[in-house]
Chain A
Amino acid sequence: MFTQFHKENPMSNNANDIRTALARAVAQRQVPDDTIDKMASQIAGARFPIRKIDICTMGICIDYFLEGDQWWTKLPELINIEGGELQGIEIFPYGIPFPDLHHVRVIQRFGAVPGLGG
């Protein structure tokens, strides 16, 4: 479904265009309810604040901020994606100003989300 939208919109050549095309497909109910429900249960069940939902070449990304000196112990919970397929995880330490703050991006494959291409 997502790939189809991308093909129908040849100007969709940057990340913002792709995000908008995907937003339109979701809003206009062209992505099936069960796909939305799977994404919803993952997002709604997240025990850590979601900072952003994004897309990238690998799939749908959910960005979190983890704090504290035991931040890494929370990773298993983040990557346990029920009904989905983990494609990757990226960790960005914030560095000197916020030594205990880490931006963690969990990427789920498009193909693991029926209706979003892949």
Chain B
Amino acid sequence: MSKSGSSRAGFLPARVIQLHPSRFCNLACRHCYSASGPHLRGGLTATEVLSALEILQGEGYEVLSLSGGEPLLYAGFETVVRGAAELGFRVNLITNGAPVGGRLLDLIAHYINLIAISLDGAPPLHAELRGDKNAFVHAERAMDRLAATGVRYGLAYCVSRESLADMPWAVEFAQAQGAALVHFHPFAAVGRGRSMGERLSLSETDKARAYLVASLLQTDTAPGVQIDLAPIEAVRTEQEDYTLLGPAAAPDAPLSDLINPLVIDETGRLLPFCYGLNPEFAIGQIGPRLPAELERYKTSSLPTVQTLLNSAFAQLNVGNKQFIDWYYHLVETSYTVEQLQRLR
């Protein structure tokens, strides 16, 4: 492994930072994993973010993926994407589409490698879950504008019990709009979504349906189709992708060899793998002490994340799981049963 990012780390081919700089959003979606909304001001400053990115670039990270909140409404958006691009990061982002236009469209065209528009189903379900009757119109308008500007974009489609039936529609819609890909991600009962679990969570059979549907929709003419579900045996056989976190974990290895993706949440906390992971597994905090915290983490805290991964692989054998959303599985595994009950 090297800092060049030329080899795998974890299950990903690229070394990714997921940045959630703020929970401010024009919408307050009923199932939002980060419980974002219009009244949640604050977040990280662009200066804080760029200082951290400079350090993390030296740790081998190469892709910055912006989320939120609505990243296009983040006050430091322009400064961060410009600075990240200058540091050599490829910058991606996920948006609900409403702010796409005007100067932001120019910035997207100049600095963003791939932009994903989030959808929660066909127009009526999307509008209902977003709490905005114009939500789909705004998303569609964003796609039109991106296509007209020649920006490569995709759809990030939340597969829930209610939106599963419209997965084929999503791919046909994406194709008609000129989207480059459709990324299906299963509904995760985290954040505000914890209260929607009964209505939206996929059963094990639904997960199998979603996996099969996504596989069948990968055609020669359709956009690229990806789903965040993996057959359980395939996950087990790829366990060796995490071997660097084993007993031989080298303190002098770049962090990206060990933790990928790396999450920075709106409080400046660095977390391994996934937004919403138990904060007990935090790596550090952006700020002047970050280099020392990374050093300490690599020399003394890796066994804790190794334990988490071992538990997650062991948990694959529990119940009748056949397909798994690995990162959501890690989030669930990171909490004790009592902690999960309190969160619900």
Is A27 a contact partner of B165 (Cβ separation < 8 A)? yes
Is A53 a contact partner of B215 (Cβ separation < 8 A)? yes
Residue of B nearest to A18 (CB): B216
Is A39 a contact partner of B208 (Cβ separation < 8 A)? yes
Is A26 a contact partner of B209 (Cβ separation < 8 A)? yes
Question: Is B232 among interface residues, defined by CB-CB distance under 8 A?
Answer: yes
Residue of A nearest to B324 (CB): A44
Residue of A nearest to B172 (CB): A20
Residue of B nearest to A34 (CB): B205
* Contact pattern, B 211-233, Cβ under 8 Å of A = 1, otherwise 0: 11101111111100000000111
In this complex, the interface size class of chain A, counting residues with CB under 8 Å from chain B, is: 20 to 34
Is B208 a contact partner of A47 (Cβ separation < 8 A)? no
The interface residues of chain A lying within 8 Å CB-to-CB of B166 are 27
Question: Is A70 among interface residues, defined by CB-CB distance under 8 A?
Answer: no
Is B205 a contact partner of A20 (Cβ separation < 8 A)? no
Name which of A29, A33, A43, A46 has the most chain B CB atoms within 10 A of its CB. A43
Is B219 a contact partner of A43 (Cβ separation < 8 A)? no
Within 195-212 of B, Cβ neighbours of A (below 8 Å) are at: 204-205, 208-212
Is A20 a contact partner of B217 (Cβ separation < 8 A)? yes
Residue of B nearest to A17 (CB): B219
Chain B residues touching A, majority SS: helix
Within 33-48 of A, Cβ neighbours of B (below 8 Å) are at: 33, 36-37, 39-41, 43-48
Nearest-neighbour CB distance to chain A for B28, whole angstroms, equals: 28
Question: Is B234 among interface residues, defined by CB-CB distance under 8 A?
Answer: yes
Across the interface, A36 reaches (CB within 8 A) one of B167, B209, B216, namely B209
Question: Is A24 among interface residues, defined by CB-CB distance under 8 A?
Answer: yes
* Contact pattern, A 47-66, Cβ under 8 Å of B = 1, otherwise 0: 11110110100000000000
Within 1-40 of A, Cβ neighbours of B (below 8 Å) are at: 15-16, 19-20, 22-24, 26-29, 33, 36-37, 39-40
Question: Is B89 among interface residues, defined by CB-CB distance under 8 A?
Answer: no
A78 to B46, CA, bound (A): 52
The interface residues of chain A lying within 8 Å CB-to-CB of B171 are 20
* Contact pattern, B 315-343, Cβ under 8 Å of A = 1, otherwise 0: 00000001100000000000000000000
Question: Is B168 among interface residues, defined by CB-CB distance under 8 A?
Answer: yes
Across the interface, A47 reaches (CB within 8 A) one of B205, B233, B322, namely B233
The interface residues of chain B lying within 8 Å CB-to-CB of A50 are 231, 234
Across the interface, B322 reaches (CB within 8 A) one of A19, A28, A41, A49, namely A41
Residue of B nearest to A44 (CB): B322
Is B212 a contact partner of A46 (Cβ separation < 8 A)? no
Nearest-neighbour CB distance to chain B for A82, whole angstroms, equals: 13
Nearest-neighbour CB distance to chain B for A53, whole angstroms, equals: 4
A16 to B209, CA, bound (A): 18
The interface residues of chain A lying within 8 Å CB-to-CB of B323 are 40, 44
The interface residues of chain A lying within 8 Å CB-to-CB of B237 are 47-49
The interface residues of chain B lying within 8 Å CB-to-CB of A24 are 168
Is A23 a contact partner of B168 (Cβ separation < 8 A)? yes
A16 to B220, CA, bound (A): 8
A20 to B217, CA, bound (A): 6
Question: Is B17 among interface residues, defined by CB-CB distance under 8 A?
Answer: no
Is B234 a contact partner of A23 (Cβ separation < 8 A)? no
Residue of B nearest to A19 (CB): B216
Within 151-186 of B, Cβ neighbours of A (below 8 Å) are at: 164-168, 171-172
Is A19 a contact partner of B217 (Cβ separation < 8 A)? yes
The interface residues of chain A lying within 8 Å CB-to-CB of B322 are 40-41, 43-45
Given A20-B168, A20-B216, A27:B233 Cβ within 8 A: no
Given A16-B222, A40-B322, A44-B323, A52:B215 Cβ within 8 A: yes
Residue of A nearest to B221 (CB): A16
A19 to B234, CA, bound (A): 24
Is B233 a contact partner of A36 (Cβ separation < 8 A)? no
Is B213 a contact partner of A36 (Cβ separation < 8 A)? no
Is A40 a contact partner of B208 (Cβ separation < 8 A)? yes
Is B209 a contact partner of A27 (Cβ separation < 8 A)? yes
8 nearest interchain CB pairs?
A40-B208, A44-B322, A53-B215, A23-B216, A16-B219, A44-B231, A24-B168, A27-B213
Q: List 8 A-B contacts (CB under 8 A).
A: A27-B209, A28-B165, A29-B209, A40-B211, A41-B322, A43-B322, A44-B322, A46-B233
Residues of B within 8 A of A (CB): 164-168, 171-172, 204-205, 208-213, 215-222, 231-234, 237, 322-323
